[in-house]
């Protein structure tokens, strides 16, 4: 079947997105027991359109047969470069090299220029060509935190490598979630570290306004958009603080985060950050509840009541309050009911841009069930106070986040930052 130029892996290529179409990813596999998870990583990258070429260290090939990765990718797997220039050819052909998982031994070798396996020699070729390198450490915690290995990780970062921080559990640095590694690969090949030196404040998720100890008013926001922005910004080199309400997804463990519950708590956290640290932009992707209860009950209201009358009062508008203390770039969001009419969406968003003191506003149509709240997809109009506008068609929120940060960077650059 391979001779016919067809492989089952071709059936999933670009099924999720075509963002990595025409991009080739070299995937290095070393001898961590977590290496089996890289099969899923390879498949996920293929779903984004990438060609994936796997290189395994000889020790890794003892854990899992290379044929498994050949099945997963539809490409030959390199275990040893036997005198040919395969490591040079792969570095020429591939756009990014991800070592996932990377053992402490491999990390130390790559940082010190040692090229004694197929995985490490390819890393040196990528570094020599100035191409992106992504490293995903996975080892016992004591190994990665030893001074020599910690120094090796810092050295790789200095050389421009993107390090995907592992999840620390049971004193082990474990393989991180796939979306973190994929984000690092995407940003490395598509944008690089273009946000390095910027400090961004991002808000995410809903808030809650309590009636009693068990009942509260909230909305359908999942926090996916704000988290996607924070993750994208982190891997593009920014220093990120995420202020978030109760989320339905995990907060990236490597992003500095502040959890809150109510709208007032979110406002207080945002104001505290903006007045205690210098931020280049505040990106308000959260959906704080607009109304709360005029009075609350300390305990629990009886469920046997036949009638319950409550009075609602507005909660503070975070964007208006932060403008009293912050003069920098503010990016706001406008969830509008536009019934599929782009002109109406843009009109409502432009009005909100002025009324709320935004420099950039991101508008989406909540009349559509296939995008927005709780969905992995969105379609937005991006407007600026300079009269610029851009429509981002329906795509993953990851890619919407990328477009938003592109606009943020463009805006800041025109200000000389």
pTM of the model: 0.94
Last residue of one domain, picked from the residues 144, 167, 190: 190
Domain membership of residue 385 (yes or no) is yes
pLDDT digits (tens, 9 = 90+) for 241-254: 999 999 999 999 99
Q: What is the mean pLDDT of the chain?
A: 94
CB 340 within 8 A of CB 360: no
pLDDT of 1: 40
Are 183 and 222 part of one and the same domain? no
Q: Does 1 fall in a domain? A: no
**Euclidean distance between CA atoms 238 and 202, whole angstroms:** 12
Q: Are residues 172 and 30 part of one domain? A: yes
The answer to whether position 310 is within a domain reads yes
Count of structural domains within the chain: 2
Please tell me the total number of residues recorded for the chain in this structure. 417
- Give the pLDDT confidence of 147-172 residue by residue, as tens digits: 999 999 999 999 999 999 999 988 88
Are 55 and 77 in contact by the 8 Å Cβ rule? The answer is yes
Examine the fold and report which residue of 147, 169, 190 is the final residue of a domain before the chain moves on: 190
CA distance 29 to 31: 7
Residue 3 lies in a domain: no
Residue with tokens 């109510």: 262
Shared domain for 175 and 212, answered yes or no, is no
Q: Are residues 169 and 205 in the same domain?
A: no
| Contact in structure between 139 and 103 (CB atoms under 8 Å) | yes
Please report, for the domain that includes residue 67, its CATH number: 3.40.50.1950
Check which CATH number belongs to the domain holding 402 and give it: 3.40.50.10300
Are 218 and 179 members of one domain? Answer: no
- Tell me how far CA of residue 85 lies from CA of 23, 25, 117, 152, 257, in angstroms: 21, 18, 14, 27, 46
Position 4 in a domain? no
Q: What is the mean pLDDT of residues 371-391?
A: 91
Contact 126, 120 (CB under 8 A): no
Which of 128, 155, 190 terminates a domain? The answer is 190
Task: Give the residues across from 151 on adjacent strands.
Answer: none
Q: What are phi and psi of 212, to 5 degrees?
A: -145, -165
244 and 292 in a single domain? The answer is yes
Whether 175 and 209 share a structural domain: no
- The answer on 184 and 59 residing in a single domain is yes
Domain check: are 153 and 266 in the same one?
A: no
Segments forming the whole domain that contains residue 57: 10-190
245-299 tens-digit pLDDT: 999 999 999 999 999 999 999 999 999 999 999 999 999 999 999 999 999 999 9
Element spanning 198, H or E: none
Residue 5 lies in a domain: no
For 28-62, how does the pLDDT look when each residue is reduced to its tens digit (9 = 90+)?
Answer: 999 999 999 999 999 999 999 999 999 999 999 99
Say how many C-beta atoms besides its own lie within 10 A of residue 128's C-beta.
11
* Distance (Å, whole) CA 38 – CA 35: 5
Residues 78 and 205 in one domain: no
**In 288-341, which residue ranges form alpha helices assigned H by DSSP?**
318-322
Q: Is 356 a residue whose pLDDT tops 70? A: yes
What's phi and psi for 146, nearest 5 deg?
A: -65, 145
Q: Are 186 and 218 within one domain?
A: no
Instruction: Judge whether 148 lies within some domain.
Output: yes
Same-domain pairing of 177 and 206: no
**Can you tell me the distance from the alpha carbon of 232 to that of 378, in angstroms, rounded to the nearest whole number?**
16
């Amino acid at each position: 079947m391979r001779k016919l130029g067809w492989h089952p892996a071709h059936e999933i290529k670009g099924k999720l997105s075509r963002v990595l179409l025409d991009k080739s990813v070299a995937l290095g596999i070393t001898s961590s027991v977590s290496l089996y998870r890289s099969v899923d990583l390879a498949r996920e990258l293929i779903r984004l359109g990438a060609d994936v070429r796997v290189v395994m260290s000889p020790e890794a090939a003892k854990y899992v047969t290379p044929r498994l990765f050949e099945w997963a990718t539809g490409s030959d797997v390199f275990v040893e470069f036997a005198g040919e220039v395969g490591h040079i050819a792969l570095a020429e052909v591939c756009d990014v090299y991800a070592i996932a998982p990377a053992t402490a031994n491999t990390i130390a070798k790559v940082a010190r220029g040692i090229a004694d396996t197929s995985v490490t020699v390819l890393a040196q070729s990528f570094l020599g060509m100035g191409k992106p390198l992504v490293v995903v450490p996975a080892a016992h915690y004591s190994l990665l935190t030893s001074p020599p290995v910690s120094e090796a990780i810092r050295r790789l970062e200095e050389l421009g490598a993107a390090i995907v921080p592992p999840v620390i559990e049971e004193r082990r640095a474990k393989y991180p979630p796939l979306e973190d590694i994929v984000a690092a690969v995407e940003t490395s090949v598509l944008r690089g570290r273009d946000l390095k030196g910027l400090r961004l404040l991002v808000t995410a998720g809903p808030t809650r306004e309590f009636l009693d100890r068990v009942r509260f008013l909230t909305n359908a926001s999942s926090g996916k958009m704000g988290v996607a922005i924070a993750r994208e910004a982190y891997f593009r080199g920014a220093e990120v603080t995420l202020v978030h309400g109760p989320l339905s997804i995990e907060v990236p463990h490597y992003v500095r985060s502040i959890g809150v519950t109510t709208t007032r708590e979110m406002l207080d956290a945002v104001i505290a950050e903006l007045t205690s640290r210098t931020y280049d932009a505040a990106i308000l992707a959260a959906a704080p509840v607009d109304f709360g209860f005029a009075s609350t009950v300390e305990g629990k209201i009886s469920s046997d009541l036949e009638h319950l009358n409550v009075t609602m009062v507005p909660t503070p508008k975070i964007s208006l309050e932060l403008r009293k203390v912050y003069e920098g770039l503010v990016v706001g969001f406008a969830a509008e009911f536009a019934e599929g009419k782009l002109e109406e969406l843009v009109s409502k968003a432009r009005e909100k841009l002025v009324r709320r003191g935004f420099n950039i506003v991101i508008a989406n149509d909540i009349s559509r069930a296939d995008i927005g709240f709780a969905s992995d997809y969105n379609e937005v109009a991006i407007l600026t106070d300079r009269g610029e506008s851009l429509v981002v068609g329906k795509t993953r929120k990851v890619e919407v986040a990328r477009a938003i940060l592109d606009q943020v960077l463009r805006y800041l650059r025109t200000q000389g930052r």
